[in-house]
Amino acid sequence: MVSRDKASTRFSMVKKRHCQTFFEAVEKKRADPQIISLCTFIAGAENFFTSSTCSGRIVLLKVNEQETKKEAAFHAKWHREVEFPELWAALNKKSAEELWFKMEPFIIHIGTGTVKNAEKLLEIMKKCGIKRGGIQVLKEGKIILELTGTQRISCPAKKEDRILFTEEYAREILARANKKLAKNYQSLEKFEQECRKSLT
């Protein structure tokens, strides 16, 4: 147990550091456009901060034999809906590694300093129908929640430089991925609205 003062100092330091990182990312255009508004609001709220976040994306991911992500693992990456010719061109671009097609949901890490504020976040999560995630770090002055969406597609796309499915199937999964991405962004928007109502 640490004292309330120490916990409060710890929270201020951690928040300051994460806000700096976020504003640098915005400046260098490394932040996902769809999540800047939410993160900016939370950076401005006294009792909360965000650390690593992703708004959701469509990717062609390079994987190794263990089927885990590799460093510099993106063959292609879009934080927006994708047109079929873009995907098809990316798939036809030479690749030594195996590729997976993925539509991945948002993942947000939000920090706060007290259990009471963490409970507020759990309530918002529930209210917005965000079912996956929870508190992952529970120290006085440093509580971190991870929240993720549930819209996903994930399937093997290419090995030994050969596309594994037909063009027709590629069109099918891309249509679904775009639809799921739109739903994912809607869920993120709803979460932002609820944060703006409830967090200070």
Q: Contact residues for a copy of itself (CB under 8 A)?
A: 67, 115, 118-119, 122, 132-138, 145-146, 148, 152-156, 164-166, 168-169, 172-173, 176, 179-180
The minimum distance between CB 25 and a copy of itself, in angstroms, equals 22
The minimum distance between CB 165 and a copy of itself, in angstroms, equals 5
Nearer to a copy of itself, 77 or 183 (CB): 183
Nearer to a copy of itself, 26 or 107 (CB): 107
Nearer to a copy of itself, 16 or 179 (CB): 179
CA distance 169 to 185: 24
Distances (CA, A) of 159 to 72, 88, 174: 18, 15, 19
The minimum distance between CB 133 and a copy of itself, in angstroms, equals 6
Q: Which tokens belong to 175?
A: 């249509």
The minimum distance between CB 156 and a copy of itself, in angstroms, equals 6
Residue with tokens 């596309």: 163
Burial environment of residue 200 by CB neighbours within 10 A (0 to 12, 13 to 18, 19 or more):
exposed
CA distance 49 to 17: 10
